[in-house]
Amino acid sequence: MILRLENLTKQFGDLVAVKDLNLTIEEGEIISLLGPSGCGKTTTLNMIAGFERATAGKVYFDDRCVNDVHPKERNVGMVFQEYAIFTTMTVFQNISFGLRVRKVPKAEIRAEVRRIAENLNLEKILDRNVANLNLSELQRVALARTISVKPSVLLLDEPLSNLDAALRERTRVELKRFHNKWGITMIYVTHDQLEAISLAKRIAVMDSGMLQQFGTADEIYRHPANLFVAKFIGNPPSNVVRGEVVKKDRSYMFKSGEYELDISMHGDLIKKALKGNKLAISFHTEDVKITRSRNQKNSTPVEVFVVELLGYDQIIDLKVDDLIIRALVPSSMEVKVDERLFMDIPVDKINLFDLETEKNIFLTAG
């Protein structure tokens, strides 16, 4: 099924929860709706499922507008953070429930449950009572129950956020395997970008009820459409520095307080697409190079403020006057708090934003 949202809007009193949302999800595609809490993700799902009525705009299932179709008739499957299962039944009874209600013949039920269970790695625990399952298994039972009645689209609202980190990852892999084999149209709502990237080819980033960017993980990562996306994407999130452009002779300098960066290589772009002189730059933490001795003549002296170990890598917070720049470097590099180092920012990898519009001028310039 192709799912299409057209100028979808939802207002609760004065609050605009979703505004003019346009999205098309292809047959069998899995997309992520990614954004902070309160950005309108769940309201969007509820309008697709029919639990909320759109204030304006339309929801299409293939070519059919379903605005006036009752939720029960939409054939939408939903899985939430809180799993909905019958706690006194076995796994088999839970998964087969919807089929039994529809009076599907017994042999057919058995075959269908087995097929679903195999896809979600539940086949060995079909006879267990759900009271004895771990959270990952419970969530997969909830999922199995939902898909047993063959919904034409599956909506998942932060289904993994009640699981602890290790289970979350295992369940995510199971979900991914399931989608590979099953090929159902799926929308996965999350505030966790790693989850979004790992599950979906295309990601819709939302904030304040509005779509900020819709694209592949790679597109969003390389060229965030605006300052919100830039600050949201990256693990840890990218550095964003606000300042202004100062033209000196033929060169363009970016200035923020005492900090200066020569961005002349983007001079043509700035000339073409920047309206005033107020500019922000963004760059990923892993692109920041730190060294003990001055690397280039324009290396910036910095002071180590905080060191956070992540395993293979560590996050270093670097102080440049009033700015804090975050760098992701291998843990093998020994760095101490208060140590003085030098920092280089790769100018070819930065993104530039017009502070008037907050938009990425790489994209607005075409």
Q: Which of 22, 67, 87, 180 binds another protein (CB under 8 A)?
A: 180
* 84 vs 173, beta carbon nearer another protein: 173
Q: Which of 65, 84, 173, 246 binds another protein (CB under 8 A)?
A: 173
Closest separation between CB of residue 326 and another protein, Å?
Answer: 8
Site for another protein in 307-336 (CB under 8 A): 308-312, 314-315, 317, 331
For the four alpha carbons of 144, 145, 149 and 153, in that order, the dihedral sign comes to: negative
In terms of Cβ atoms closer than 10 Å to its own Cβ (0-12, 13-18, 19+), residue 248 is exposed
Closest separation between CB of residue 235 and another protein, Å?
Answer: 6
Minimal CA–CA distance to 44: which of 21, 26, 13, 68?
21
Q: Is 347 helix (H, G, I), strand (E, B) or coil?
A: helix
Q: Which of 74, 237, 333, 359 binds another protein (CB under 8 A)?
A: 237
Contact letters for another protein, residues 120-159 (x by CB under 8 A): ---------------x------------------------
Task: Give Dmax over CA atoms of the chain in angstroms.
Answer: 82
82 binds another protein (CB under 8 A): no
Site for another protein in 33-52 (CB under 8 A): 36-37
State the DSSP string of 149-214: T--SEEEEESTTTTS-HHHHHHHHHHHHHHHHHH--EEEEEES-HHHHHHH-SEEEEEETTEEEEE
How far is it, in rounded angstroms, from Cα 154 to Cα 339? 51
Total residues contacting another protein by CB under 8 A comes to 40
221 binds another protein (CB under 8 A): yes
267 binds another protein (CB under 8 A): no
287 binds another protein (CB under 8 A): no
Under DSSP, the state recorded for 73 is: G
Site for another protein in 184-213 (CB under 8 A): 191-194, 197-198
Closest separation between CB of residue 234 and another protein, Å?
Answer: 8
How far is it, in rounded angstroms, from Cα 83 to Cα 337? 44
How far is it, in rounded angstroms, from Cα 89 to Cα 144? 14
CB within 8 Å of 179: residues ≥ 6 apart? 30, 186, 199
Under DSSP, the state recorded for 123 is: G
Fill in the amino acid letter for 7.
Answer: N
Closest separation between CB of residue 331 and another protein, Å?
Answer: 7
In terms of Cβ atoms closer than 10 Å to its own Cβ (0-12, 13-18, 19+), residue 180 is exposed
Distance of alpha carbon 307 from its chain centroid, rounded?
26
Fill in the amino acid letter for 325.
Answer: I
* 197 vs 261, beta carbon nearer another protein: 197
217 binds another protein (CB under 8 A): yes
Q: Which of 165, 297, 340, 348 binds another protein (CB under 8 A)?
A: 165
306 binds another protein (CB under 8 A): yes
Closest separation between CB of residue 261 and another protein, Å?
Answer: 23
Closest separation between CB of residue 144 and another protein, Å?
Answer: 19
Under a CB-based contact definition with an 8 Å cutoff, are residues 306 and 317 in contact? yes
Closest separation between CB of residue 36 and another protein, Å?
Answer: 5
Fill in the amino acid letter for 11.
Answer: Q
Closest separation between CB of residue 258 and another protein, Å?
Answer: 21
Closest separation between CB of residue 277 and another protein, Å?
Answer: 28
Pick the piece of the chain touching another protein (CB under 8 A) from 4-12, 79-87, 110-118, 305-313.
305-313
Residues that bind another protein (CB under 8 A): 36-37, 135, 164-167, 169, 172-173, 176-177, 180, 191-194, 197-198, 217-218, 221, 231-232, 234-237, 286, 305-306, 308-312, 314-315, 317, 331
